[in-house]
């Protein structure tokens, strides 16, 4: 069965410093992986997705993630945090090899950004 583990429930950074949100996955085949962001009182928004093309995936708002099969990881990074990045971030694996019939979410990482 597919699953994702987000290694940190809460990450706090200062504005202008790098962001690293960690995610490990478990999948019996080549997975499709996603990062979604959830701002308070707003819907989930897709940041980026990995679909077995390039292992380094660039997303919106300066975020990127690298798929590392040997480490079963898909960590989300951003070189310089902005106050508007404060939100909940979810790592997601697709259950059907990318059909999105069933998205499996991690428990989320809350990102705080200090001025």
Kindly state the smallest distance separating residue 72's Cβ from other proteins, in Å: 18
Nearer to other proteins, 27 or 94 (CB): 94
Q: Which chain residues interact with other proteins by CB under 8 A?
A: 32, 36, 41-46, 49, 51, 90, 92, 94, 97-108
Nearer to other proteins, 41 or 70 (CB): 41
Contact assessment for residue 95 and residue 104, using Cβ atoms and an 8 Å cutoff: yes
Residues 95-112, buried b or exposed e (16+ Cβ, 10 A)? bebbeeeebbebebbebe
Residues 66-91, buried b or exposed e (16+ Cβ, 10 A)? ebeeeeebbbbebeebeeebbbbbbb
Kindly state the smallest distance separating residue 115's Cβ from other proteins, in Å: 26
Nearer to other proteins, 24 or 51 (CB): 51
Kindly state the smallest distance separating residue 16's Cβ from other proteins, in Å: 29
Distance from the Cα of residue 43 to its chain's centroid: 16
Kindly state the smallest distance separating residue 40's Cβ from other proteins, in Å: 11
């Amino acid at each position: 069965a597919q699953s994702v583990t987000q290694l940190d429930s809460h990450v706090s950074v200062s504005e202008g410093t790098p962001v690293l949100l960690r995610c490990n996955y478990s999948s019996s085949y080549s997975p499709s992986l996603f990062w979604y962001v959830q701002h308070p009182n707003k819907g989930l928004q897709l940041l980026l997705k990995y679909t077995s093309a390039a292992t380094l995936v660039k997303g919106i708002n300066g975020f990127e993630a690298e798929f590392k099969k040997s480490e079963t990881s898909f960590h989300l990074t951003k070189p310089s945090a902005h106050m508007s990045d404060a939100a909940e971030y979810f790592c997601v694996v697709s259950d059907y090899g990318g059909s999105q019939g069933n998205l499996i979410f991690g428990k989320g990482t809350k990102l705080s950004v200090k001025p």
